[in-house]
């Protein structure tokens, strides 16, 4: 593709001198050459601004802007206001972009006349690529899609990052889209509004962006300090603003409710941290109660019994009971059966001294800790998997397993096969599929389910594996494939045996 369509790349710079040259060089080495780079230094107190000036002196298409410190949201908006391109991208200055990242996204942007193009991202941790900290985002990125309005693919909302995307600049300006000044956690609010307005969003499965996971003392990344009381409070403010801004559009009511459920999932990710932090515990309880009051009409059933009970205790202000449940062993979950239904058996079920509506505790859909992968091995016909799950849950859900390409290699679907054991369900991935895979391809095991029209996902990590099964991994096949557990893929992975060191 001949280069056309100017891309404005806005780099948000703040005290990242140790990483800044690597970031800038990744942009200069892009295979897509029709770019301008706008580095916005948000009042750095290290040598970041000097490095920006150095690059500005060397490259005519590189602009350096210095401003007083007002936060990343203001810096990003300022850079967008200065942009002259047809499309714009936002980059954090401690990260970097793959060499073909913008070429891949701009090709789709220009050919499809897209408002937004999304690519795959990965963490860089201790010098190795990793996917372990991503939750639902990989399900957005798993395959190529052209989405003509978010209603076609509501799962878009799980990717609230601004940095693995290009945006049509006229589209952003037409809808007055930008980040909320004063917010630490401003990108999700901005991106989900963009999804609502976008008439064409393209998703590519290729890796385009590397997000650096930092442990240095000077780390100012908001997303890497999620258990800070200040950051959590800010995150909940952004969730309330999500609701209020979408409330302006009557047709967006369904979308507003989907975003609310997604926001509750994200907010509960830090719940276990309140056990050890009194400061976070207080902020968490107060902020979550305010959010639940705002979301009081939202159908939260897709969250599952464990999260629903947590939310009910939060609503009631029962922080001691919440901490007790959070402290239970992950897999030590008993159930109570009655009239063909099953419930999470814990102290608040059927307790005459402490009333909690038992429907909150009912296990209607898969909940981690109440099912497990009990077998994963190679047999004569292929890769064989067994799922242990209560019959009432399996009866009401559609469940499928797949190997999902980590770098966009595609999806390999298991077939459900007969099992003679009650409560155990078997799946198989034939050797005929495994033998044809590219040598370096890396896959992660995923369980998908559909309940009452709502789709859910689990990457198969330690929490979903039988303890005895963990001890026998990795397992190897005659065709040279190996199934293993790896933090790099975020759980169970599969790759050619000779290539597996890539993610160790």
DSSP secondary structure string for all residues of 75-122: HHHHHHHH--SSEEEEEETT-EE-TTHHHHHHHHHHHHT-SEEEEEEE
Residue 224 counted as domain residue: no
Residue 35 counted as domain residue: yes
Of 413, 392, 410, 391, give the one whose Cα is nearest residue 402. Answer: 413
Nearby residues of 155 by Cβ (< 8 Å), 6 or more positions away: 136, 139, 140, 455
Q: Is the same domain home to 326 and 464?
A: no
Q: Is the same domain home to 176 and 247?
A: no
Whether pTM > 0.95 for this model: the answer is no
* Pairwise CA distance, residues 292 & 153, whole Å: 26
Q: Looking at 361, 386, 411, which one is the last position of a domain?
A: 361
Q: Is the same domain home to 107 and 208?
A: yes
Q: Is the same domain home to 315 and 206?
A: no
DSSP 168: E
Which alpha helices (DSSP H) does 135-218 contain, by range? Answer: 137-141, 169-174, 187-197
CATH of the domain at 417: 2.60.40
Residue 135 counted as domain residue: yes
Residue 458 in tokens: 């689990």
Q: Is the same domain home to 260 and 289?
A: yes
Residue 2 counted as domain residue: no
Containing structural domain, residue 186: 7-219
Q: Is the same domain home to 36 and 168?
A: yes
Residue 381 counted as domain residue: yes
- Judge contact between 261 and 268, C-beta under 8 A: no
Residue 1 counted as domain residue: no
Q: Is the same domain home to 83 and 210?
A: yes
Residue 367 counted as domain residue: no
Residue 449 counted as domain residue: yes
Q: Is the same domain home to 347 and 421?
A: no
Q: Is the same domain home to 25 and 140?
A: yes
Q: Is the same domain home to 36 and 145?
A: yes
Q: Looking at 337, 361, 385, which one is the last position of a domain?
A: 361
For the chain, 504 residues long, give each residue's pLDDT as a single digit of tens: 445 899 999 999 999 999 999 999 999 999 999 999 999 999 999 999 999 999 999 999 999 999 999 999 999 999 999 999 999 999 999 999 999 999 999 999 999 999 999 999 998 988 888 877 788 898 899 999 999 999 999 999 999 999 999 999 999 999 999 999 988 888 999 999 999 999 999 999 999 999 998 765 444 454 446 678 999 999 999 999 999 999 999 899 999 999 999 999 999 999 999 999 999 999 999 999 999 999 999 999 999 999 999 999 999 999 999 999 999 887 767 899 998 899 999 999 999 888 899 999 999 999 999 999 999 999 988 999 999 999 999 999 999 999 998 888 889 999 999 998 999 999 999 998 988 888 788 899 999 999 988 889 999 988 899 989 988 999 998 888 899 998 778 789 999 876 554 444
Question: For residue 293, what is the enclosing H or E element?
Answer: helix 278-294
Q: Is the same domain home to 192 and 235?
A: no
Residue 401 in tokens: 């397993």
Q: Is the same domain home to 154 and 244?
A: no
């Amino acid at each position: 593709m001949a280069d056309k369509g100017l891309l404005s790349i806005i780099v948000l710079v703040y005290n990242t001198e140790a990483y800044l040259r690597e970031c800038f060089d990744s942009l200069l080495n892009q295979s897509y050459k029709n770019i301008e780079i706008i580095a916005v230094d948000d009042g750095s107190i290290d040598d970041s601004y000097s490095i920006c000036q150095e690059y500005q002196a060397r490259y005519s298409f590189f602009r350096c802007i210095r401003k007083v410190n007002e936060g990343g949201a203001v810096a990003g908006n300022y850079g967008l206001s200065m942009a002259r391109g047809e499309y714009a991208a936002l980059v954090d200055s401690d990260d970097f972009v793959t060499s073909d990242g913008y070429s891949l996204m701009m090709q789709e942007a220009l050919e499809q006349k897209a408002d937004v193009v999304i690519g795959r991202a990965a963490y860089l941790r201790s010098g190795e690529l990793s996917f372990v900290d991503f939750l639902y985002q990989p399900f957005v990125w798993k395959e190529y899609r052209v989405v003509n309005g978010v209603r076609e693919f509501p799962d878009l909302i799980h990717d609230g990052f601004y940095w693995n995307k290009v945006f049509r600049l006229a589209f952003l300006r037409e809808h007055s889209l930008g980040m909320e000044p004063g917010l630490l956690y401003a990108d999700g609010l901005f991106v989900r509004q963009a999804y609502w307005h976008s008439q064409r969003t393209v998703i590519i499965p290729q890796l385009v962006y590397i997000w650096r996971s930092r442990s240095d003392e000077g780390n100012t990344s908001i997303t890497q300090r999620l258990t800070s009381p200040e950051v959590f409070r800010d995150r909940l403010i952004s969730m309330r603003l999500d609701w209020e801004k979408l409330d302006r559009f009557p047709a967006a009511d369904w979308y507003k409710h989907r975003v609310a459920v997604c926001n509750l999932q994200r907010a509960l990710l830090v719940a276990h941290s309140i056990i050890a932090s009194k400061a976070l515990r207080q902020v968490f309880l107060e902020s979550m109660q305010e959010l639940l009051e705002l979301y009081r009409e939202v159908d939260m059933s897709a969250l599952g019994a464990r999260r629903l009970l947590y939310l009910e205790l939060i609503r009631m202000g029962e922080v001691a009971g919440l901490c007790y449940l959070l402290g239970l062993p992950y897999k030590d979950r008993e159930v109570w059966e009655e009239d063909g239904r099953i419930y999470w058996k814990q102290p608040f079920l059927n307790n005459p001294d402490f009333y909690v509506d038992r429907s909150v505790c009912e296990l209607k859909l898969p909940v981690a800790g109440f099912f497990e992968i009990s077998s994963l091995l190679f047999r004569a016909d292929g890769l064989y998997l067994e799922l242990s799950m209560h019959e009432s849950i399996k009866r009401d859900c559609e469940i499928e397993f797949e190997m999902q390409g980590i770098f966009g290699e595609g999806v390999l679907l298991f077939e459900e096969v007969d099992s003679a054991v009650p409560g155990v369900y078997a799946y198989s991935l034939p050797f005929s599929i495994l033998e044809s895979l590219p040598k370096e391809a890396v896959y992660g095991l995923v369980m998908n389910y559909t309940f009452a029209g709502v789709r859910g996902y689990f990457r198969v990590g330690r929490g979903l594996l039988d303890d005895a099964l963990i001890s026998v991994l990795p397992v190897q096949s005659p065709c040279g494939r190996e199934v293993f557990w790896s933090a790099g893929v975020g759980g169970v992975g599969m790759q050619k045996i000779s290539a597996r060191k890539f993610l160790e």
